[in-house]
Chains A and B, each alone.
Chain A
Amino acid sequence: MPTVEASADLMSPLNLFLQADVVVKTVMIGLLLASVWTWAIIFTHALRLRRINRQTDRFERDFWATDDIDAFHARRSEDKLPIAVVMAAALDEWRRSTKTATVDRAGTRERLASRMNAAVAAELDRLSDRLNILATVGSVAPFVGLFGTVWGIMRSFTAIAGANNTSLAVVAPGIAEALFATAIGLFAAIPAVIAYNRLTHGLDRLEAKLSRFADRFHATLSRELEVEAVTGH
């Protein structure tokens, strides 16, 4: 049945794209690029977050198991893990604050807390880079697709009016290729929204984990300050 094959061929994504108006084509290309970008971010961030979570758990376990924090830090000094960065910031502040003869314990505690909080915030800021793109694609892509569809339908109605024929065979292809723009928009937007929520949730959990570590480490260092104060005086 050649007619059926021809109509199926007509409805293939490639043909729908090729038959579309230049504006609709531009919209489709833009949305496709947005989709590629979205998925690139999804793949990158999802894998990175998973890896970081796994390594953070292992790091934390090793950290609290160790007796010599300085040696542990020396061993993991090259580590780029957020938790390692937080630990390094705290130890750096500790060393700076305690190298003087008189140690301001309250000030040191405050500085330790703020340094670690700053480190956590900076790491999360780094990790959440480009997630805003997901949010943008998720909210804007359907509208862009809708714009392409509206434009395409306007154009096909004009063509139908010119053809003086309103049979379904004349109307359907134009509408189909116009709706294809919305389909691509939704195709880009739906994973973007899902991934944004999912990755944001993952980052929130990581932030909670880092904050817990920072508080616990802060408590440890604070205790150490008191011990040094007792032994020093």
Chain B
Amino acid sequence: MKMDRAEWAGTGAALLFHAVLIGALTLSLAQVASVPEPPSMEVEFVEDVGLTPAAPQSVAVPPPPSQAPEIGKAEPTEPVPTIQPVRTPSITPAPARPQPPAKPAPRMSRIGDDFLKGIRQDAPSKSAAPAQASAATVSPSAMAGIVQAIRRQVQPCADRQVNPGEGASRIRVRLRLQLLRSGRLRVPPQVLGTSGVDDENARYEERVKDLAVATFVGCAPLTGLPPELYETDSGKGWSDFIMNYNLP
């Protein structure tokens, strides 16, 4: 096959084109393709209702500086106590409420200075508060572990329960468990409330409540729960917490 000059030139151009392309792909485009991986995310399955872990504590920290804007913000945190109506209402609103009217008035004109002062003065108490909070709370992962351990242990009892009727499995029962250090129930589980009740399954509500209580009573004592988390500094641990129950 005879090639003329134009064909040689065309072949040379094609070779050059391919060399450049492969070089570009190897050197730069391959690097562009390497999107850095996002940091691995730790996913934890935590019971939606249970011990009050770090969240309410950390939200409760802003009120101590006692500054008007932050007090204003603190109000949305009020719904948080509804998760744990037993303990929190007496703690958070008490320091928060009396302070706001006292300080904003004289500090309105010099926000900058007061703001800095406030931080300096409150710094020690601020740093102390989270330290206590972290010592007093159960981390979400530990909480999830406790919940899983309890679930595992009560599963056989839950499996034995007979479903009273159609729709009953949609009923969720909130139970308050008060445990002794040995894992026995201090008092029978208290039913705090139910959800998922509709016209169809309303007649089973009481039955499901009983079944829920029976499940936990039947499989007590609960073993293998971490003793160091039985009670923390604030008194919260698996000694007293809330779980959800529904029929399998």
Contact = CB atoms under 8 A, between A and B. Distances in A.
B95 interface: no
A43 B8 CA distance: 10
Contacts of A14: 22, 26
B135 to A, nearest CB: 35
A47 interface: yes
Nearest to B4: A44
Contact of A36 (B11, B26, B30, B37): B11
Contacts of A45: 10
A9 B27 CA distance: 9
Given A13-B25, A35-B18, A43 B30 contact: no
Contacts of B31: 8
Interface in B23-67: 25-26, 30-31, 33-34, 36-37
Given A8-B34, A12-B30, A44 B10 contact: yes
Interface string A122-155: 0000000000000000000000000000000000
A212 interface: no
A59 interface: no
A1 B39 CA distance: 11
Given A12-B25, A14-B22, A47-B6, A39 B17 contact: yes
B187 interface: no
A9 B31 CA distance: 8
B76 to A, nearest CB: 39
Interface string A25-39: 000000010011111
A48 interface: yes
Contacts of B34: 4-5, 7-8, 11
B30 A48 contact: no
B14 A43 contact: yes
A41 B25 contact: no
A13 B20 CA distance: 13
A39 B12 CA distance: 10
B13 to A, nearest CB: 5
B137 to A, nearest CB: 34
A40 B11 contact: yes
Given A35-B18, A36-B18, A11 B33 contact: yes
Contacts of B119: none
B38 to A, nearest CB: 11
Nearest to B11: A40
Contacts of B14: 35-40, 42-43
B199 interface: no
B1 to A, nearest CB: 9
A94 B236 CA distance: 115
Contacts of A35: 14, 18
A47 to B, nearest CB: 7
Contacts of B37: 1, 3-4
A44 B26 contact: no
B15 interface: yes
B10 A43 contact: yes
Contacts of B15: 36, 40
Nearest to A47: B6
B121 to A, nearest CB: 43
B30 A11 contact: yes
A41 B30 contact: no
Interface of B: 6-7, 9-11, 13-15, 17-18, 22, 25-26, 30-31, 33-34, 36-37
Interface of A: 1, 3-5, 7-9, 11-14, 32, 35-45, 47-48
6 contacts: A8-B30, A8-B33, A11-B33, A11-B34, A13-B30, A47-B10
